[in-house]
Amino acid sequence: MDENTQPVQNGQEAPAEGEGEKKKKSLGRELMEWVEAIVIAVLAALLIRSFVFTVVRVDGSSMNNTLANNDRLIVWRLGYEPERGDIVIFAPESKNVDTNVLDRIYWVKRVIATGGQHVDIDYSENAVYVDGERLDEPYIAEPMDPPQSPNTITSIDLGEDELFLMGDNRNNSQDSRYIGAVKKEDVVGRAVLRFWPFGSFGGVK
């Protein structure tokens, strides 16, 4: 045995001087690379969720029978422009909303009319008219009951940046009939997919 070589238990030669230090540096570098990769992945996920799509949970029954309480939805955000019939997520202006519903930071409703259009609601006919055209609404849960408040909006002209939104469960929905038109800038995006519960997995319309 060479006098400069120290024996080790597994019968291999001991590492040369400085080799252990190199391994420590290599391990440290690898650890930093993992940390950087994780940070980049988290930031990418946050950016995608902020600008491309997000995930929400339905709270309440205002969209029955189309959506149910606790449904989980994927909401598309990137480049979205609201169109009639879309189901959208939006943030209502708190000054127009009863305090007992402020727990719902974001609401889900259906777009009935868009900027520049005129809306009329005829409760006696259970009908909604947009620019004089009666809407075909097979999605509503049941016929509308007469409004209980004299302040209920039954006719409105929308500004160019405004939307008229209503729930599919017309008799249990706090919507544009009560809070007024919603600004397009307050819309988060369009609900495109329900992924929970699994039995109801599919597109939203």
Contacts of 193 (CB under 8 A, 6+ apart): 73, 74, 201, 202, 203, 204
62 is catalytic: yes
Q: What CA–CA distance (Å, rounded) separates 89 from 187?
A: 6
Q: What CA–CA distance (Å, rounded) separates 68 from 58?
A: 7
25 is catalytic: no
Contacts of 142 (CB under 8 A, 6+ apart): 169, 170, 171
User: CB of 169 within 8 A of CB of 141?
Assistant: yes
Q: Give the active site residue among 23, 24, 109, 173.
A: 109
Q: Give the active site residue among 61, 62, 124, 149.
A: 62
Residues with a catalytic annotation lie at: 62, 109
